[in-house]
Amino acid sequence: MQIVSCPGCGAEVRFRSHAAVMAVCEYCNTRVLKDAESVRDLGKISAVLEDYSPIQIGSSGRLDERGFTVVGRIQLRYTDGLWNEWYLLFDDGATGWLGDASGQYMVTQQATAPGPLPPFKALTPNGQQLIGGISYTVSDVREAQCVGAQGELPFPVETGWTTHVADLRHTDKFLTLDYGDGEEPQLYTGRAGKLADFHFQLLREEDAILRSAGRYRGKLAALNCPSCGTAISYLPGMTATLVCQSCRSQIDAASPEAKVLGAGVQWESVGQTVPLGAEGHLSGDALRIIGVMRRSDGEDNWTEYLMYSARDGFSWLVETDDGWFRAAVLDKWPEPDASDHKAMRFGNLSFKHQYTYSAAVIFAAGAFNWRVKAGDSTTVSEYKHGSASLAMERTAEEVTWSLSVPLSDDQVRMAFKLPGGTRRKPGTLNVANDYRDTAKKCMWLMLGLNAVPLLFSFSSALVYTALGALAIYLPAIFLDSNDPS
């Protein structure tokens, strides 16, 4: 370890990695450049935005039984959000990176390219690239800018520094092509997994987060909409965009000051079976509904509820005409089934292709971990095995896979303490027809009671029966149309 004095404030700056050439002073944010004989002041860099990641400088973990320690961080922003790249020092002196984005984690190390690597412009999401004898799927391709840095880094960076990166996947194998130095990319290989898969220690404690940020990670805070003033509940640092439930304005929550990005779609008639902000338990997880999104394929509509768990991060509750489903983004990707070119294999199961369609956002409200707005469209391919389904969603920049399993209506109602009754059908605006259903039953009962009069005096009895039916049914239509539930 090398300890130098910060040229800006004189505080100690530590270099634990021999590969690190720059460190950010934790007291004054001065970029300290280390060369053979001295240190230089490169000017200040923006502090990282408090994003409530459990990782911190000094956290340790393991990759394939090799221990590592977190010694630095770059925070990068792209079109729809931001993520962290943590700089790692392995116990054997090697270095690597930990990608940290919305509860998804990837540990990689620089590797020697086994042959020519594709140019950045040749990469598209869901494209295939053969690297080292393995066929990888391109998962995302994007331009990103540095918005802050912390600790030790292997190269100088500054606020606004721009890079181009592409990520590729094969099951849990993860590969990054970094085009930050030009046309020839640097190759990084490793694997993706959950936080527990990397056996982390010395993660941030809730009390430490409270002292540094003034609130606990994962606990709701309120922000007043800059457009209309409505209070919006959100997870500071864990949600990138908000959509005001009153005026539908889209708000950037991943910057030091909340900014209105644009007005959303007004849709006063939309109701949700599970209200925004509802709390509940599913499979032992304590969950909160933080965002509600309505999507459509042009024929059918469905509702997706973004759920947050302090233990496991983000997942989805999906409401369709066919029932309820719980969905989670996959760390380990499925691969093509060798015995069926129209199927994907996940674990030991073969999922057969069912549909491919475009899904567009037609309504959103609440908080989301990426920038969402009405009109956003993705291409969805669904694969089924029994009652479970895999879904691949593709945009111009990214591909994700998720696994959905069905839930019963009773499970959802018990989980979120919802009243009983007819489940809303997401495909329609006014979907609860409880009063009309009751009115129909009353009309059948009235018809049964008047069966004998109708036989002996059909004309006169029919008039009174019809008037009675209208007197029952017309108020029911009005009540259903104005039912706020």
Q: In terms of domains, do 112 and 188 share one?
A: yes
Task: List the structure tokens of 362.
Answer: 């037609």
Q: In terms of domains, do 342 and 310 share one?
A: yes
Asked if the model's pLDDT at residue 426 lies above 60, the reply is no
Residue 257 lies in a domain: yes
Q: In terms of domains, do 346 and 283 share one?
A: yes
Residue 203 lies in a domain: no
Residue 423 lies in a domain: no
Mean pLDDT computed over 85-92 = 95
Residue 462: the pLDDT is 61
pLDDT in tens, 231-262: 666 555 555 556 666 665 656 655 544 443 44
Q: In terms of domains, do 63 and 14 share one?
A: yes
pLDDT in tens, 311-351: 677 899 999 998 999 999 999 999 999 999 899 999 999 99
Give the CB-side neighbour count of residue 175, counting CA atoms within 13 A: 24
Residue 181: the pLDDT is 82
Mean pLDDT computed over 355-371 = 84
Q: Which of the four pLDDT bands, split at 50, 70 and 90, describes residue 224?
A: low
Residue 25: the pLDDT is 85
- Average pLDDT over the chain reads 79
Highest-scoring range by mean pLDDT, 6-20, 94-108, 150-164, 388-402 = 388-402
Q: In terms of domains, do 267 and 309 share one?
A: yes
The span from the CA of 8 to the CA of 408, in Å, is: 61
What share of the chain has pLDDT > 90, as a percent?
40
Helices 434-449 and 458-481 sit at what angle, rounded to 10 degrees? 170
Q: In terms of domains, do 241 and 183 share one?
A: no
Q: Which of the four pLDDT bands, split at 50, 70 and 90, describes residue 209?
A: very low
Residue 420 lies in a domain: no
* Cβ density class 9-42: b for 16+ within 10 Å, e for less: eeeebbbbbebbbbbbbbeebbbbebeeeebeeb
Q: In terms of domains, do 228 and 322 share one?
A: yes
- Per DSSP, the residues of 154-172 read SS---TT-EEEEEEEEETT
Q: In terms of domains, do 369 and 465 share one?
A: no
Residue 421 lies in a domain: no
The span from the CA of 175 to the CA of 38, in Å, is: 36
Asked if the model's pLDDT at residue 389 lies above 50, the reply is yes
Within 10 angstroms of residue 85's Cβ, the number of other Cβ atoms is: 25
Residue 45: the pLDDT is 75
Residue 54 lies in a domain: yes
Contacts of 469 (CB under 8 A, 6+ apart): 443, 446
Asked if the model's pLDDT at residue 479 lies above 70, the reply is no
Q: Which of the four pLDDT bands, split at 50, 70 and 90, describes residue 283?
A: confident
Asked if the model's pLDDT at residue 469 lies above 90, the reply is no
Residue 49 lies in a domain: yes
Q: In terms of domains, do 191 and 255 share one?
A: no
Q: In terms of domains, do 476 and 391 share one?
A: no
Contact of 3 with 16, CB cutoff 8 Å:
no
Q: In terms of domains, do 391 and 456 share one?
A: no
pLDDT in tens, 141-199: 999 999 889 899 998 888 888 999 999 999 999 999 999 888 899 999 999 998 889 99
pLDDT in tens, 103-144: 789 999 999 999 999 999 999 999 999 999 999 999 999 999
Q: In terms of domains, do 319 and 443 share one?
A: no
Residue 425 lies in a domain: no
Contacts of 265 (CB under 8 A, 6+ apart): 248, 362, 363, 374
How many domains does the chain fold into?
Answer: 3
Q: Which of the four pLDDT bands, split at 50, 70 and 90, describes residue 52?
A: low
Find the domain containing 476 and state its range: 434-481
Q: What is the CA 458 to chain-centroid distance, rounded?
A: 64
